[in-house]
């Protein structure tokens, strides 16, 4: 399999965090979540880009992609990432997950290589921002959904016949994200 391109989606407004850029929150070891992601992904041999219009990340020196189109939520970021991939598989990850291990990333990269989309499910819903996408099979549908106003990533995964990455109980905790100030804990990042 060709090495994947990983996109860390950073374009959210962070409203629940009082406007803070969630990917710039610091983990227990002092690194920002985005810096932690870059390390985890690069150690797995993946190229890394940031996805979304978020000027606060420019100092990190990581290539940034603007959503295509802007203003439709994560689907716009996913379309930009799929276009940028150049045929490589794509990992889309949320900037607010400080606990994902290299082992879980490796499982996402290596499992079910023929799936159009591979993603875990939590609480009966897909986790589209910890998922692997095959641009050749997903890009046209993602663009069509963006143009037609169907911006739900859940709908995209359902319509694409996504395959579930089954998680062990401890792995489920790795996908805990920081959406609100009450989510931030003093736990060490994995």
Which domain range does residue 144 map to?
Answer: 5-181
Per-residue b or e along 18-44, where b marks 16 or more CB atoms closer than 10 Å to that residue's CB: eeebbbbbebeeeebbbbbbbebbeeb
> Is residue 113 a part of any domain in this protein?
yes
Q: Mean pLDDT throughout 173-178?
A: 87
Which CATH number characterizes residue 15's domain? 3.90.550.10
Confidence at residue 25, expressed as pLDDT on a 0 to 100 scale: 79
Number of domains in the chain: 1
Count of residues in the chain: 190
- In this prediction the pTM is 0.90
pLDDT mean across residues, the chain = 89
Confidence of residue 187 (pLDDT cuts 50, 70, 90): very low
What is the distance between the terminal CA atoms of the chain, rounded to a whole angstrom? 27
> Is residue 102 a part of any domain in this protein?
yes
Closest CA to 65 of 45, 85, 38: 85
> Is residue 146 a part of any domain in this protein?
yes
């Amino acid at each position: 399999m060709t090495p994947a391109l990983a996109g860390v989606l950073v374009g959210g407004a962070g409203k629940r965090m009082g406007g803070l850029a969630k990917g710039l929150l610091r983990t227990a070891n002092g690194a920002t979540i985005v810096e932690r992601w870059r390390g985890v992904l690069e150690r797995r041999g993946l190229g890394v880009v940031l996805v979304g219009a978020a000027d606060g990340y420019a100092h990190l020196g990581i290539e940034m992609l603007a959503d295509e189109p802007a203003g439709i939520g994560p689907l716009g970021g996913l379309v930009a990432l799929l276009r940028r991939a150049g045929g490589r598989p794509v990992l889309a990850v949320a900037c607010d997950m400080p606990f994902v291990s290299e082992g879980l990333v490796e499982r996402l990269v290596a499992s079910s290589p023929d799936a159009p989309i591979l993603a875990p499910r939590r609480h009966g819903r897909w986790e589209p921002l910890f998922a692997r996408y095959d641009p050749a099979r997903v890009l046209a549908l993602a663009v069509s959904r963006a143009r037609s106003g169907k911006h739900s990533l859940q709908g995209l995964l359902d319509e694409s016949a996504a395959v579930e990455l089954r998680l062990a109980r401890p792995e489920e905790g790795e996908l805990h994200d920081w959406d609100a100030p009450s989510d931030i804990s003093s736990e060490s990042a994995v």
